[in-house]
Amino acid sequence: MKSIQMVDLRSQYERIKPEIDLAIQGVIENSAFINGPEVKAFAKELAEYTGAEFVIPCGNGTDALQIAMMALDFKPGQEVIVPAFTYVAAVEMISLLGLKPKFVDVTPDTFEMNPSELEKAIGPNVVGIIPVHLYGQCSNMEFILDVANRNNLKVIEDTAQAIGAVYSFSNGKKAQAGTMGHVGTTSFFPSKNLGCYGDGGAMFTNDPDLAERLNRIANHGQKKKYHHESIGVNSRLDTLQAAILRVKLKELDRYCAARNQVADRYDQAFKNHTSIKIPKRASNSTHVFHQYTVQIEGADRDALKSYLQEKGIPTMIYYPIPVPKQQAYLRYGYQTGDFPVSESLCEKVLSFPIHTEMDPAQQDFIIDSILSYF
């Protein structure tokens, strides 16, 4: 049996090697390393895939969040609502821009912002909401968009973990993650569901004016070379990465299906287990299982993690500390007890290996090993 990894990028590459090698070779032959034709072609193909009107590639998913907030003209001192239990990127960019994060506790089953807490967080200085589609399924966008509309707030969807997930509105309308808010942001970090071979990111919008601003800000604030209309940043998707992503985008549906197959087997194995709480599927979103994250209840999570590690099975804790309690963000003055659900999740969550190349024998070994611990 091959050794077990959280993500097996090497085996994934083996399956598409001829096409990837050809794509990389093509870029080198062409030598248009920055803003080559593949970047535009990829943006167009990703727009077709997601249904977004505009896709603006950039350097990574964190830049995408920064550029989105700059394009929406958020001003220092204003507040942006974010979940307390999440990856740090959105909060980091909020702080860097002189904005203030307003944290909201999450739900204990789908890990999204708790709706009533979200409403309570609205205040005169709040200008935006950043829902994070954690682990691969959409937050309750219908509710979030409604709250945003009623309060004249902008919504930036952090879709780094959920590209390809489909949300269903109550009127039957469907939309992909990242295409429902004012701006959606995503990451092509290698281990993401649509990953390149280095750093990469993109922004989605349906608004032509915003698309122009996002493009301009990502490119030094210039529309015309050496004419800088606004302060910008330098954030580009390499041509090489775009060429790789064009190949991998064609595989994305297969990747999502493979991840769901792994998730279904874990669900079957653990659904009646007294100490393992399997992830709840949201009723209004498909799941692309960037992570398969359970909660360990009434047992020692960290001991289980070490036990599995000794058997050669990696697991991860996404995330061990709520963002408001990270040292860098203590300055905002939140206290222990402010986010009870987030705090408890940090003690309970454990993510099992899930990726596109998991072979059933590997997964049997993982499942048997987990069950043997209890």
Ligand X SMILES: *Cc1c(COP(=O)(O)O)cnc(C)c1O
Q: What does the binding site for ligand X look like in residue numbers (CB under 6 A)?
A: 60-62, 87, 89, 132, 158, 160-161, 187, 189, 199, 201
Q: Is 31 helix (H, G, I), strand (E, B) or coil?
A: coil
Residue the block writes with tokens 């942006």: 80
Cβ atoms 54, 211 nearer than 8 A? yes
| Nearest residue (CB) to ligand X, 137 versus 161 | 161
Which residue's Cβ lies closest to ligand X? 61
Q: Is 20 helix (H, G, I), strand (E, B) or coil?
A: helix
CB of 60 to ligand X, least distance (A): 3
Q: Compute the distance between CA of residue 52 and CA of residue 58 in angstroms, rounded to an integer.
A: 16
Residue the block writes with tokens 């604030």: 221
Question: Beta partners for 201?
Answer: 58, 187
| Nearest residue (CB) to ligand X, 89 versus 256 | 89
CB of 24 to ligand X, least distance (A): 20
CB of 92 to ligand X, least distance (A): 9
Amino acid (1-letter code) at residue 63: D
| Nearest residue (CB) to ligand X, 59 versus 269 | 59
CB of 9 to ligand X, least distance (A): 15
CB of 195 to ligand X, least distance (A): 9
| Nearest residue (CB) to ligand X, 164 versus 201 | 201
CB of 190 to ligand X, least distance (A): 10
| Nearest residue (CB) to ligand X, 83 versus 353 | 83
CB of 18 to ligand X, least distance (A): 27
Cβ atoms 276, 267 nearer than 8 A? no
CB-based burial label for 273 (10 Å; 0-12, 13-18, 19+): middle
Question: Beta partners for 217?
Answer: none
Q: Compute the distance between CA of residue 320 and CA of residue 322 in angstroms, rounded to an integer.
A: 7
CB of 161 to ligand X, least distance (A): 5
CA-closest candidate to residue 146, choices 176, 171, 111: 171
| Nearest residue (CB) to ligand X, 162 versus 269 | 162
Q: What is the DSSP letter of 70?
A: H
The Cα-based distances of 225 to 21, 68, 220, 228, 302 in angstroms read 33, 21, 9, 8, 54
| Nearest residue (CB) to ligand X, 9 versus 367 | 9
Q: Compute the distance between CA of residue 327 and CA of residue 61 in angstroms, rounded to an integer.
A: 22
| Nearest residue (CB) to ligand X, 62 versus 286 | 62
Tokens of 19: 């096409």
How far the first Cα of the chain sits from its last, in Å, is 24
